[in-house]
């Protein structure tokens, strides 16, 4: 799976703000970014980007803020345009940089000195922590966590890739063996979730068929599609496509197709059904901590780093799904609130939502 930033972003001629912090992107900054004349804020810190800064970024007159810190970039830092304003750019954490304006060069030198000092202090601290069992446990946990994150994982749906998948009612019907009851893996008032097999390589997916007899489902369908359209995070369940069509009887049919999570939901692990009470299955302390961190990372992204803050509104164990590696993924955005940027300097942010409240016991006070 490619971890490079797609060069096709340069085709988005009206793009003004781009926040892609902490997504483990590799490779060079696409040269196509220099074509986005309306760019105002480019935020790419805490990735693994390499190569040189595209020099023509200094020609983007609308660019007001640029954050390239903590990557593996090298070469000379341009000195014109936004690069002439040390307060508008962040490039620290790239040890191979050289050149740039005097203020910026001084900052980089101080950073390297501070980094070396912290490295020496860390060695002393780690030596002390080694004799304390509690600190050793925490240190071991974080080491295992970051090692797991650094491993390259194959995509859950290798035949689909990054292409827009188009599926008809007939194909979904065949994938679920006629929406047969034995293929149901979950259900609620909004519809039923089926396990399906699509494609020549028999890729397993989860197909959410909406119950259109519930009048709230139409709004839920639109909210979920809007919420998942532009967000990308490793701990969000990936939506592969949607289907809006007619069934053989001429009735409306709507479905959402997601990547399949083989280890079911967190709720299934915390509360085993009566028929599985004697089945040995439990979560270790490390797995519980990993799931907690996965959820915190997801909420941090939804609230602060995606294009317009998103509030899930119904984050409960049954909406937290687990993949093959027991990594948690947030699902079911049918109740999400989309907080839009305020216009005309208004002090109130606009809210796009529906009149549905979350599950009792899990909805935030502002949702009840």
Q: Which positions are annotated as active-site residues?
A: 314
**DSSP single-letter state for residue 122:** H
Burial 263-290 (b: 16+ CB within 10 A, else e): bebbebbeeeeeeeeeeeeeeeeeeebb
Residues in the chain: 368
Instruction: Retrieve residue 319's tokens.
Output: 């909406």
The answer to whether the CB of 233 falls within 8 A of the CB of 239 is no
Write the burial class of residue 304 (CB in 10 Å: 0-12 exposed, 13-18 middle, 19+ buried).
Answer: exposed
- Give CA torsion, residues 22, 26, 29, 33, to 10 deg: -70
Ramachandran region of residue 78, left (φ > 0), alpha (ψ -120 to 50) or beta?
Answer: beta
Instruction: Retrieve residue 192's tokens.
Output: 């039923």
Rounded CA separation 70/354 (Å):
40
Q: How many other CB atoms are there within 10 angstroms of residue 74's CB atom?
A: 14
């Amino acid at each position: 799976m490619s971890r490079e930033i797609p060069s096709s972003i340069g085709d988005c001629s009206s793009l003004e703000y781009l926040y892609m912090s902490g997504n483990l992107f590799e490779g060079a900054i696409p040269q196509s970014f220099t074509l986005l004349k309306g760019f105002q804020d480019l935020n790419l810190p805490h990735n693994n980007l390499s190569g040189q800064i595209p020099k023509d970024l200094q020609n983007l007159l609308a660019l007001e803020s640029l954050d390239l810190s903590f990557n593996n970039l090298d070469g000379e830092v341009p000195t014109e345009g936004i690069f002439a304003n040390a307060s508008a750019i962040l490039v620290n954490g790239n040890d191979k940089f050289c050149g740039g304006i005097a203020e910026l060069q001084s900052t980089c030198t101080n950073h390297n000195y501070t980094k070396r000092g912290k490295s020496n202090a860390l060695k002393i601290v780690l030596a002390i922590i080694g004799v304390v069992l509690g600190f050793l446990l925490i240190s071991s946990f974080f080491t295992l966590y970051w090692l797991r994150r650094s491993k390259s994982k194959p995509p859950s749906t290798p035949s689909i890739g990054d292409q827009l998948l188009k599926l008809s009612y007939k194909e979904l019907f065949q994938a679920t063996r006629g929406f047969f009851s034995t293929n149901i893996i979950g259900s609620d008032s909004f519809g039923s979730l089926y396990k399906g097999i699509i494609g020549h390589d028999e890729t397993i997916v989860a197909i959410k068929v909406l119950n259109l007899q519930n009048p709230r489902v139409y709004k839920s369908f639109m909210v979920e599609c809007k919420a998942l359209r532009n967000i990308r995070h490793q701990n969000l369940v990936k939506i592969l496509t949607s289907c809006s069509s007619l069934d053989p009887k001429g009735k409306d049919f709507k479905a959402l197709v997601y990547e399949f999570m083989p280890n079911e939901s967190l709720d299934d692990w915390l509360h085993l059904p009566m028929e599985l009470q004697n089945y040995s299955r439990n979560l270790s302390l490390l797995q519980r901590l990993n799931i907690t961190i996965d959820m915190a990372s997801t909420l941090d992204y939804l609230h602060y780093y995606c294009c317009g803050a998103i509030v899930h509104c119904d984050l409960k164990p049954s909406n937290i799904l687990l993949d093959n590696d027991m990594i948690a993924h947030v699902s079911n955005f049918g109740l999400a609130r989309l907080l839009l940027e305020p216009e005309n300097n208004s002090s109130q942010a606009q809210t796009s939502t529906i009149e549905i409240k979350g599950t009792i016991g899990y909805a935030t006070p502002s949702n009840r």
